[in-house]
Amino acid sequence: MSTGGKPLRLGVLLSGRGSNFLAIAHSIREGRLPNVEIAIVLSNVADAPGIQAARDLNLTTAVFVSKGRARADHDADLIACLRGHNVDLVCLAGYMRLLSPGFIAAFPNRILNIHPSLLPAFPGLDAQEQAFDYGVKIAGCTVHFVDEHLDHGAIILQRAIPILETDDAHSLSERILVEEHIAYTDAITRVASGDYVIRGRRYVKR
């Protein structure tokens, strides 16, 4: 993704805890994401712990409460805010709301999402519990571009872990989360490099 040598500016969207956002922020602060900066952190939930964590890090934040609003109207506010902060790449980090077609079109192939399963298995809510209850032996996480379908766009990378005999859904979620935090930084690095093409659904390194 070419920014003409300028830092790649991220817009992070979250609704909850914000551990993936924090993992990205720490990667930037610790030099693992060179030439990347967080332009703004947005939440659709006023008291999301993640937005407080962003304030604590002195990052620029904004809250646009989505409850009770039409999706297109709410998303129009988000688009204006992201554009106003010159965001190059949108990172969904536990953002619990579907994006409107208008939002997807505003940032073509510039929206990433992280999902706690090996897609296309177990899209939607409670993916870790879905995987555990199904009895699969390998679980993991996926970072993908966002399109108009839920947990669906071209896959950038996946990280897999075995499900252990001793696991329950909670311990599995915790172990997947460790992988998520590595995966998101890795995926941003890949996208920031611009060294890829998307062929159909396939992310292919050049």
Catalytic residues: 115
Contact between 144 and ligand GRF per CB under 6 A: no
Q: How do strand 138-145 and strand 155-162 relate by DSSP bridges?
A: antiparallel
Residue whose pair of structure tokens reads 């409107």 in the numeric block: 100
Closer by beta carbon to ligand GRF, 76 or else 175 = 175
Contact between 109 and ligand GRF per CB under 6 A: no
Q: Which stretch binds ligand GRF (CB under 6 A): 17-25, 58-66, 75-83, 131-139?
A: 17-25
Q: How far is the CB of 91 from ligand GRF (least distance, A)?
A: 10
17, 71, 97, 190: residue in contact with ligand GRF (rule CB under 6 A) = 17
Q: How far is the CB of 23 from ligand GRF (least distance, A)?
A: 8
Cα(125)–Cα(37) distance, rounded to whole angstroms? 29
3-state helix, strand, coil in the chain (%, to 5): 35, 25, 40
Amino acid residing at 127: A
Contact between 140 and ligand GRF per CB under 6 A: no
CA distances from 137 to 132, 142, 172, 199 (A): 8, 16, 11, 30
Contact between 180 and ligand GRF per CB under 6 A: yes
Q: Site residues (CB under 6 A) for ligand GRF?
A: 14, 16-20, 50, 93-94, 114-116, 180
